[in-house]
């Protein structure tokens, strides 16, 4: 797999817009800005936990973030 030339890289703003657009295509899903890239460590750990719980208990556990103001979901 070859890396894209730097001239084809997306800016952070472009990447965020692309991801928000993709999330909007999934029924019942809305994208929110989770802050700095370092926060992905926590998201990945929670994902691993949910996968483990669902395998162990044959369930469909998930997490829903609620109570944010409408501007948190800006496009």
pLDDT at residue 1, rounded to an integer: 55
The verdict on residue 24 lying in a domain is yes
pTM of the full structure? 0.64
Range of the domain at 18: 9-73
1 assigned to some structural domain: no
Assess if residue 4 is contained within a domain. Answer: no
User: Domain tally for the chain?
Assistant: 1
Q: Which residues contact 72 (CB under 8 A, 6 or more apart)?
A: 32, 33
Q: Kindly give the confidence (pLDDT) of every residue in the chain, 75 residues in length, as a single tens digit, with 9 standing for 90 and above.
A: 567 777 788 898 898 899 999 999 999 888 888 888 899 899 999 999 999 999 999 999 999 999 999 888 876
Asked, for residue 3, whether it belongs to a domain, the answer is: no
Q: Is residue 39 part of a domain?
A: yes
Residue indicated by tokens 């800006």: 74
Which residue's entry shows tokens 């700095």?
36
In a domain? residue 20: yes
Whether 34 is covered by a domain: the verdict is yes
């Amino acid at each position: 797999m070859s890396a894209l030339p730097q001239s084809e890289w997306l800016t952070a703003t472009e990447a965020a817009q692309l991801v928000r657009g993709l999330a909007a295509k999934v029924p019942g899903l809305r994208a929110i800005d989770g802050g700095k890239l370092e926060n992905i460590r926590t998201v990945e750990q929670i994902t691993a936990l949910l996968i483990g719980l669902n395998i162990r208990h044959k369930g469909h556990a998930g997490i829903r973030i609620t109570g944010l103001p409408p501007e948190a979901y800006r496009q």
